[in-house]
Structure 1
Amino acid sequence: MASISDKLMESVRSSAAYNANVQVAPACILWPDGDRQWEPVVPRLLQELPELCVLGDYDPAQRTGPAIWLRVVIADKAEDTKLPSDRKPILYLPGVRRQDLRAVENCPDHLKPLAELQYRGVIWSQMNAKDWTILAFLQSRQGGLGLDVAADNEAKRAMRLALFRLLDERLELLDGKHLDKDYFNKLLTSGDPIREVLQWIDDPAGFRDKCDENAWRAFGEICKSQLKLSPERDGELEAAGRLAEKAPPWDSVWERFAEAPSRYPNIPQQIRKTAPPKPKGLFDDLSGWPQWNDGQEEALRGELTSLSELTPEQARSKVLALNKSHGERRSQVWASLGMSPLAVATEHLAGLAQVTSDSIAAGTAEDMLAAYQASAWRADDRLLRSLEAVQTDSDLNAVETALRALYLPWATEAAHHLQKVVSADGYPGKSATDLVADDSEAGVCYLFIDGLRLDLAKRLAEKLEEKSLTVSASVGWSALPSVTSTAKPAVTPVRRLIQGADANKDFTPEVAASGKSLQGGYQLQKLLEEQGWQKLSKTENGDSSGRGWCEMGDIDHEGHERGWKLARHIDLLLNEAVERAQQLLAAGWKQIRIVTDHGWLLMPGGLPKTPLAASLSENKWGRCAALKPGASTDEQLFPWFWNPSQCFALAEGVSCYREGVQYAHGGLSLQECVTMSLVVAGGAAFRSVRIVSVEWKQLRCKVELAEPVDGVTVDIRTHAANPATSQVAAKKQFTSKAACSVVMQDEDLEGHEVWVVLLDDDGALLAQQSTIVAEDN
């Protein structure tokens, strides 16, 4: 398709056409341009028209010079400039009109050498003998392009500014279009004026620097035309204020900003430099100003802080009302920028208020477990999510006050009742004598996650199911006391080989056969290996035809280390667990059993403290204590899981033996003692796809499966989970055969480790195996 530039050059050159029977060939083509309209594109035309010369200062390298030099050039006498012999010279004359040459007696001295060329040459002009303007050339149907072009002054101005880019427009695509100021202005912009307005408000100096003069003028014309604002006269702060007002025509600009506000990080601060209008009525919308949102957050902060003066029932009622009045702000732009943390937290506090309105301090321990598993666990989940929303100390203090008003009385009441029924009826969890031998078949791998509380286990199950994995869950009771040293051995596949002798201050059992303590973990690892269990690191996949034990995602360590800030890291820890389960399944393991030892309690500001004299205890942990032999105390005593003849003390309710402890476990509460185990398996593809061999012949890699699986794709990557690191010339699919080969592209990777990965139709990992490129050569 021909461009306007093509048609322009064709028109200029065709003006030299003549009838050889009656005419002499013209010496040159004169292009007068009194208003210098075409001058901005002459540098470009000099590249495309080798026969073009320009009247001006002497610069032969740019084919520019005075009139006398032009005469020398067209006479082919200039040593410094030679024009093509098969083209008629074109002389562009900026600032010169046709009539300037015709009035020879009045012709300026600097033009006189060219005057006689009007007779020996031809002039590129309209049919009416007028000089070609840009508008005339675009509009005219006689020698021009015959386009529909607006003729108002604003359109003419925009047209001249956009001339350079206008030349590239395809003529066929302009047929039937009305070319007005907006069309020409958009040629100088990205074609997305709203985005450019936002970029300008966000970074005025940077935006101005990246625009040439024409583009900046075009941008200004668009702002005037579409938004009734002049960037030069009104400035970016006036624009920021109008943006915040969201009134037409700025409502569309606000909508674009609200779609992706993080792209314009400075706009909130720009709006802050403007003053919101004074409210005229109850329904005035001031939500476009971050100052308004700040005020709403401050008011909410005060309301939440005042909950300390209310009863739990009153606090619940008030939180529900606050959630209703501030709920709309969660859908506004400031929330997406993290500037409405309390509005976000209040949604979770409202959920907490609803859950805690129903007491679970009733019935037997099993009744309480059923209620907790069914819905009451959501109170713990809402507590974590409300803490996850806040960052500053002032916001934390407000949420902390709400949690102490809503959650703490509810959890305390439940813990007191559970301790009462357990004291009367006994602990419902199994004892060491009830443990049975592990009957795991080959292909089962345990994944132990320390501190995977029930609410987190449910969150983890959802994440696993989102990856199309099959998940089944079972709920039980942790070993007492609910600390790692006691409870972890009870969930291992070698639990029947462990016993408890005399209770020690660390609540640690021992290997039954040798009497060696499990303190430190070495003896437990040794025991697992002696029984045929592979101890896998966080990155090892092991032999999936055997049985495995893997540990990761130490939530308990993070809780002790970070306190309430654990809430911010929960999803990261759970995502790592999901990825690890996928890796193990992809490596061929048939089933992943996710187990944990205990849960925990969390309360910003610290759990309530209960006193215990140091003279009575050998070791005083957060929620449990080993008492000295013969010590007399009013504390409730409970039997040790590994040796019921040995007892220890547990803090009452949700209290702690230490001051200011935010995260603790070891006591008797639903949060600490109710645990959930997950059994994870893949779909049919996961169960059946297994790599049995990888062979190299130079850069060709042959992959063989245990059995043919149609539709499975093989790829080679430097990072197994990242598709962008693929190194093959083309991925291949297995069909009816169990073997398939692919070719590496990068010879430099020879001798380096890569990953052979198998993928399903959706690109999900089915299996993976590391290999060394060309190792078999």
Structure 2
Amino acid sequence: MSKNLKQTLINSIREASRYDTGNLTAPVVVLWPDPEKQWSSVIAILQEDMPELMVLGEHEPEKRTGPAIWLKCMVASTLPDADWDASLVPVIYLPGISKNDLKKLSQADPAIAPLMEYQYTGTLWTHRNGKEWTVNGFLQNKEEGLGLRIDQDNATRDAGIKALPTMVRDEGIQFPNIVTSNFLFSLLFHDVEKSILEWMCQGDDWLNSLDPDKREVFRNICRNVFDFTPNPKNIRSITLQLGRKDGPWAKVWNYFELAPDRFPEILGLLEQAKPDDMGSGLFTIPEDTWPQINADAEEDLRKAMERVAKGAPNEAADIIHQLDDEHGKRRSQVWASMGKANLALALKPLKTLCEKVADAFDTTSLDAITAYYSESGWSVDYAAVQALATAKTEKEKNAVTAVLKTVYTPWLERLACKFQELIGEQPKTLTALELRNEEAECILFVDAFRYDIARKWAEQMERKNYRVNLDTRWIPLPSLTPTCKPYVSPVAEQISRQSTPNEFRPCTNDDKDLTFHHFEAALDKAGYSFPRNSSELVRGQKTWMEIGKIDQFGHNEQSGLVHRIEELFGVLEERIEDLFAAGFKSIRIVTDHGWLLVPGGMPAEKLPKDHIETRWGRCAILKDGVPSELLHLPWFWNPSAMIAYAPGISFFKKNNEYGHGGVSLQECMVPVITLESDQVSWQPITMQVSWTGLRCSVTLQGVQTGYKVEIRTRHTDESSRISTTKTLSGDGKFSLFVEDADYESAAAFVVVTDAKGVVLEKQQTVVGE
């Protein structure tokens, strides 16, 4: 049942001044006697909506409080502060004064004597039975109050008084059928579960930081609801209650699961409190709450995964499925989100990988093998990336690598060898590509954007309401940036097909080495700007932009590059948002090449130094006359230059997990992505941000009906929202509230999106500053 106590209270007080115009004289004032001062905590809140409400007390006119003489002047409207609407009857709150005190004319307290005439010329706000309103009485009253059913014990009575400011301030509280002290206490601690965890972490330091009333309420909640006394000496038994998750403690555990990093001490407490006997039957203690049990399971899993490499390859998939049946449940436990069940997380993509590599695929033609990879095979590569990305320590990486070497590497080798065989039969597929300029209003070049990675990113963007078209193309050989980047650019037709293979970098038609400087000049000649960052974008001008460091990470960090994929996704999405915000209606994403990633290292292919003119990891130019059985294919930019390629997934050096430049589907088949947005025609959005405590005031210009504004910790991630969300009806000033005080002083972004969630504008800020 939802009730608005504040408005109900105001209506009742103002109703007291109503009178029969035919028989009575209008009251000059409403007196509000409150002998126990039960209502004193909400007077300031009521004054926000009741300019006519004044208080008997010390002279503090800014608080509409003063002695009797000042109050009489206010009632008579002889002071400028008496600025309420003429239709309102002034109200005087009398803390510590009873109705009977007003009747003792001969024994009148001098402080209230000047007001006593108002019991005749004014009226009193009291219950129909003539008694002063109490908080409990008003909450229960059906005629004027909320009509609630309330427990009639002292604890509930006291809790109602303590919770009064919360009940008055918060609109739409859902009251239960019967209001108990526990419910009222919960209003004082909206996050009582969070408070218990904070006390467990900080002890008396946290408890003493509360004001005395709230401290006592917290103690009452602990005793009455959670069956413990907040004493640090009892922390072991209290932690055991948390681990058992009995009754209300289940909610405390659930809160801990949502944000374990905010309560780091809980981990150590659980380690100390784990019982030796986990019980049985009805008395079984849950196992998922104890870090030691998870740690032991993770160690057992690590050893089992390493044993996979020692067994028969055809048994590996069955073992992974068995391990997933045993350990998969730990992926949903808190330890997974804390980075303490990484191998359990790795089992999910490893299981997918095992299932996919078992699928037969057609190798009778290039079209067939290409269709297999673009439709299904790519997911094997991405599963390997995901599995490696879950491994954070060297031991974890070794365990995942052991499985991948047994299951994934043979699939890679088989696929690469068959692709090279087919290319050897049909070399023109890669050597006789059509040469034409890449044309679009906006081209975004993403370095080493392999097909599987690009496909996953495109799926994410589709879920964010972009229109995405993903296509594929072959890139020229060798699959290296100097050779391939010009081919996918607007300057392709300016490049000579008679170039000298200087580090596989071609020349322009006027015989200029295609260095970065000359590439930029060629773009300018083609009518394309080359902004380095979003601030240099020019609306209406054809644009070439570059982003991404995957290739750099791959060469420097080897398989460690898998930890950079999510970073690339975020940076790329931000750049897309900037481009659409700058007014581009369509964005074309191109890349130079893909890559191979072979966990544990690629097989080394020996190539004598005296046979080599130029050597990269997966390709080389051999000296004239050197005999070789390696696959040889002409260089795209000069067919007279023949290039030798490493067989299968091998590398011309030792100890390399990452490489490109060779002939494989992963290296040579690349994505081409076109994105469009439903974003309305571009117009600048200006934003001014200021803070008052945890309330953020945002002034916006250039927004349209249906746009939204909110605060996030990561502007591209809607799940990182930490504030209320406002749906806009146009320009104006809007207030956003950060509901969790723990975010105070945290870096954040005020983000404006369209109705579908596409980010249109952002501004960095610091919460509360």
Mark yes or no: TM-score above 0.5.
yes
* 2:472 match: secondary structure: strand
Change (3 A) 1:87 1:678: closer
One-letter identity of the residue aligned with 1:291: Q
Amino acid at match of 2:640: S
User: Cα offset for 1:413?
Assistant: 1.4
Counterpart-to-counterpart distance in 1, 2:420 and 2:705: 60
Query: Is 1:635–2:636 an aligned residue pair?
Result: no
- The letter of the residue matching 1:292 is I
TM superposition shift of 1:358: 2.5
Measure how far apart 1:468 and its partner are.
Answer: 2.4
1:442-464 CA distance string (max 9 Å, x none) = x6222111201110121232233
Does 2:457 correspond to 1:457? Answer: no
Deviation at 1:763, TM superposition (A): 6.4
Tell me the alpha carbon deviations over residues 384-404 of structure 1, each in whole angstroms, 9 at most, x when there is no partner. 111221211111111111111
Give the distance between the partners of 2:671 and 2:197, measured in 1 at CA: 50
SS of the residue corresponding to residue 309 of structure 1 reads coil
2:501 is matched with: 504
Contact 2:490 2:526 in 1 (8 A): no
Is the CA contact 2:240–2:273 (under 8 Å) kept in the aligned structure 1? yes
Tell me what 1:570 maps to.
565
Q: CA RMSD for the aligned pairs?
A: 5.0
Alignment partner, residue 560 of structure 1: 555
SS in 2 for 1:297: helix
Structure 1 residues 361-510: aligned runs within 5 Å = 362-431=363-432, 434-436=434-436, 440=439, 444-501=441-498, 503-504=500-501, 506-510=503-507
AA paired with 1:517? D
Matched position secondary structure for 1:428: helix
Confirm whether residue 616 of structure 1 aligns to residue 611 of structure 2.
Answer: yes
Shift of the alpha carbon at 1:350?
A: 0.8
Q: Is the 8 A contact 1:329 1:340 kept in 2?
A: yes
Alignment-mate amino acid for residue 627 of structure 1: L
Q: Distance in 2 between matches of 1:600 and 1:370?
A: 19
Query: Cα 1:164–1:510, aligned 2, differ >3 Å: closer, same or farther?
Result: closer
Q: 2:14 maps to what in 1? A: none
After superposition, the C-alpha distances for 1:199-255 in whole angstroms (9 at most, x for unaligned) are: 322332342122345544443333232222222386233222111112334334323
Q: For the Cα contact (< 8 Å) 1:532–1:547, is it kept in 2?
A: yes
Q: Percent identity?
A: 28
Take 1:178 and 1:758, find their aligned partners in 2: how far apart are those partners?
A: 43
AA paired with 1:257? F
Q: Describe the superposition over 1:639-693 as per-residue Cα deviations: whole angstroms up to 9, x where unpaired.
A: 212222211221111111122222110111111111111122233x55xx256xx
Query: Would the aligned equivalents of 1:335 and 1:341 in 2 still touch at CA under 8 Å?
Result: yes
Change (3 A) 1:553 1:718: farther
- 8 Å contact 1:636–1:649 — kept in the other structure? yes
Name the CA distance, whole Å, in 2 between partners of 1:175 and 1:582: 44
Give, as a single letter, the amino acid of the residue that structure 2 aligns with 1:251: A
* Alignment partners' CA distance in 2, 1:328 and 1:45: 64
1:494 Cα deviation from its structure 2 partner: 2.2
Partner of 2:336 in structure 1?
Answer: 335
Residue type matched to 2:584 in 1?
W
Distance 1:575 1:538 in 2: 16
Deviation at 1:617, TM superposition (A): 1.4
Partner of 1:717: 687
1:599 Cα deviation after fit: 0.3
> Structure 1 residues 744 and 164 mapped into 2: Cα distance closer, same or farther (>3 Å)?
closer
1:587 pairs with 2:587: no
Is residue 654 of structure 1 aligned with residue 649 of structure 2? Answer: yes
Structure 2 residue identity aligned to 1:558: F
Q: What is the Cα deviation at residue 743 of structure 1?
A: 9.1
Aligned pair in 2 of structure 1 residues 198, 522: CA closer, same or farther (>3 Å)?
same
Any idea what the Cα deviations from partners look like across 1:329-367, whole Å, max 9, x if unmatched? 112222233322111111011111111112547222332
Q: Which residue number in structure 2 is paired with residue 86 of structure 1? A: 114
SS of equivalent residue, structure 1 residue 510: coil
The answer on whether the counterparts of 1:437 and 1:494 sit within 8 Å (CA) in structure 2 is yes
Secondary structure, aligned partner of 2:552: helix
Distance 1:174 1:726 in 2: 30
Following superposition, the deviation at residue 506 of structure 1 comes to 0.7
Tell me the distance in 2 between the aligned counterparts of 1:570 and 1:453.
Answer: 11
TM-score by length of 1: 0.69
Per the alignment, residue 202 of structure 2 pairs with 203
- Per-residue deviation, 1:715: 3.3
**Counterparts of 1:430 and 1:219, CA distance in 2:** 76
Aligned residues: 622
The 5 A counterparts of 1:54-453 are 86=114, 155=154, 182=182, 189-190=188-189, 192-232=191-231, 235-280=234-279, 285-360=286-361, 362-431=363-432, 434-436=434-436, 440=439, 444-453=441-450
Amino acid in structure 2 at the alignment position of 1:350: K
Q: Which moved more, 1:533-542 or 1:239-248?
A: 533-542
1:629 Cα deviation after fit: 3.4
Distance 2:559 2:166 in 1: 61
Normalization by structure 2: what TM-score?
0.69
2:468/2:673 contact within 8 Å kept: yes
Q: Aligned pair in 2 of structure 1 residues 718, 383: CA closer, same or farther (>3 Å)?
A: farther
**Structure 1 residues 539, 729: closer, same or farther in 2, change over 3 A?**
closer
> Contact conserved, 2:464 with 2:757, CA < 8 A, in 1?
no
Would the aligned equivalents of 1:715 and 1:732 in 2 still touch at CA under 8 Å? no
Q: 2: distance between equivalents of 1:436 and 1:168?
A: 69
* Deviation (angstroms), 1:163: 6.5
Amino acid at match of 1:672: E
Amino acid at match of 1:86: P
Q: Which digits, 9 at most, give the CA deviation of each residue in 1:566-604, with x for residues without a partner?
A: 212212212322332333333333432211111001134
Rounded Cα–Cα distance in structure 1 between residues aligned with 2:673 and 2:383: 22
Distance 2:383 2:164 in 1: 59
Q: Distance in 2 between matches of 1:193 and 1:759?
A: 34
Contact between 2:204 and 2:232, CA under 8 Å: does it hold in 1?
Answer: no
